[in-house]
Structure 1
Amino acid sequence: MHVQIVLFDGFDPLDVVAPYEVLYAGGTASDGAVTVELVSAEGPRDVVSGTGGLMLRATGTLDPARSGLVLVPGASGRVGEPGEVPDTDAESASAWQQDEFIPVLLGRTLTTELPGLLKAAMDNPRITMAAVCGGSLVLATAGLIEGRNATTHHLGLDMLEATGVHAVHARVVDDGDLVTGAGVTSGLDLGLYLLEREIGPRVAHAVEELFAHERRGTTWRAHGQAPAAL
């Protein structure tokens, strides 16, 4: 399984590094069954995060034709009002600035080539789309997951619902070819769940032990009997 983790200006480093390390370790534990790379819509470049100007380097271009997994992180910056709609007008699409509001950073991705590449990836039956935290909002505001089950940071659940997504308050939500994680540290749990689902529980458990991290929270799936009102 090849994993493409997407970088964009203002991304949250923990949303990227946590699943990257988990999945990379899963590749080692599975004798290379998992490979991971950092990509961007623009191709190889240094991409500045929203946390203190920390940069990571994308080594390739997001390839929607390559089978495997595409993972979209959220953004790091100032917290806007819950439910705030991202500003995507021409003025907001100007130069990236440090400490901007997270909804603005997420909305700015809509002015790039990223939405088109993500749509092509989601149209590819050989790709599973994943997202951490505000990454779900990137997909949602691009109109790519309307009617689907997903989660995001708890402050963004109302905004997720406003885009026509069924927002689930859970640590990880598995909706088949769409798997999403909640707040930033859930990238660890999302990565471990993906290892268990795609490679197997023994590899996932080995990585869990290596990272000294016990998975927490609920993994929600639309399986089984629907609960009655409580």
Structure 2
Amino acid sequence: MIAQIILFEGFDPLDVIAPFEVLCAGSDALGGTLDVRLVALDRIGPVVSGTRNLELTATYVLEPEAPGIVIVPGAAGPTVGDPDFVRTIPVILAELGSSRLPALIGRAFASPDTLVATICGGGLALGMAGLLAGRTAVTHTLWNDVLEATGTTVVRARVVDDGDLVSAGGVTSGLDLGLYLLEREFGPRIAHAVEQLFEYERRGTVWSARGLDALPL
């Protein structure tokens, strides 16, 4: 199984590094059966983040139909400013919508063996590209109303499981997403081993469309 974390110009470093470290630790606990990769949409090489020009290197190009997990991080940068001079987060996410990302993620959704996961603004990018209409998801609290406007049902939970789409909220939720993906794919003992190693306890309930509906409280 391959876990592919997408890099793009302006990505948020913690959205990438948090699940990368969690999934790599999970792979070690599994004996290396999970191949964790940093990937780009069209070329290998260094990619500049949205935080102080920090660079990470994409060592592979995204394979959208590969069995496993494709993770879309959010963006980093200012939230407001003149878009003609400042690459704000909304500008970066809009650029993603006009890139190859929507077509590639569409292929991932069409693959029966591929799970798409998003962190923070990554969910909003897919929503604005029209890929989450009719789906259930969450993004950063600043953008949940915008995500709802794309036809997505927003559940304000730390992690939301909607079948072949798993989304997480704000930046640090990448840790929770990584641990949940380990539990979902490989079981709770693997996830618990990584929790102990990282001395981190997951926050919040993972929402999914299972069990009884709650009465109004």
Asked if these proteins are the same fold (TM beyond 0.5), I'd say yes
> Could you list the runs of 5+ residues in structure 2 that have no partner in the other structure?
none
Alignment root-mean-square deviation, CA: 1.5
Unaligned 5+ runs, structure 1: 82-86
Displacement of 1:111 after TM fit? 2.2
TM-score (norm 1): 0.90
Equivalent position to 2:120, from 133, 138, 163: 133
Q: Distance in 1 between matches of 2:214 and 2:193?
A: 34
Q: 1: distance between equivalents of 2:167 and 2:65?
A: 21
CA distance in 2, matches of 1:205, 1:220: 19
The answer to whether structure 1 residue 112 and structure 2 residue 99 are counterparts is yes
Partner of 2:163: 176
Distance 1:43 1:3 in 2: 18
Whole-Å separation in 2 of the counterparts to 1:224 and 1:202: 23
Structure 2: how far apart are the matches of 1:180 and 1:112? 21
Q: Where does residue 228 of structure 1 map in the other structure?
A: 215
Residue of structure 1 in register with 2:188 after alignment:
201
Out of 121, 133, 150, the position equivalent to 2:108 is 121
Deviation readout 1:40-66 (Å, 9 max, x if unpaired):
111202110000000101111111121
1:167 alignment counterpart: 154
User: Would you identify which runs of 4 or more consecutive aligned residues in structure 1 move more than 6 Å?
Assistant: none
What is the distance in 2 between the residues matched to 1:79 and 1:70? 26
- Report how many aligned residue pairs link the two structures: 216
Give the secondary structure class of the aligned counterpart of 1:207.
helix
Cross-structure match for 1:84: none
Contact 2:97 2:126 in 1 (8 A): no
Displacement of 1:26: 0.2
TM-score in terms of structure 2 length: 0.96
For 2:90 and 2:205, the matched residues in 1 are separated by: 26
Superposition map of 1:140-159 within 5 A: 140-159=127-146
Give the Å deviation of 1:174: 0.6
Q: 2:61 — aligned with what?
A: 61
Counterpart of 1:78 in structure 2 is 78
- 8 Å contact kept, 2:158–2:205: yes
Structure 1, residues 115-152: CA drift from partner, whole Å, max 9, x if none? 11111111111100000000101111111111111011
Q: Which amino acid aligns with 2:110?
A: D
1:29 maps to what in 2? 29
Distance apart, 1:112 and its partner CA: 1.6
Shift of 1:219: 0.8
Match of 1:43 in 2: 43
- State the alpha-carbon separation in 1 of the partners of residues 16 and 201 from structure 2: 19
Give the Cα–Cα distance (whole angstroms) in 1 for the partners of residues 38 and 183 of structure 2: 22
Correspondence list, 1:82-97, <5 A: none
Instruction: Please give the per-residue CA displacement for 1:90-109, whole angstroms capped at 9, x wherever unaligned.
Output: xx7xxxx7x62111111111
1:147 and 1:33 map into 2 onto residues whose CA distance is 34
Deviation larger for 26-35 or 184-193: 26-35
Q: Which amino acid aligns with 1:26?
A: G
- 1:6 matches 2:6: yes
User: SS at 1:106's partner residue?
Assistant: helix
For residue 80 of structure 1, report the CA deviation from its aligned partner.
Answer: 3.8
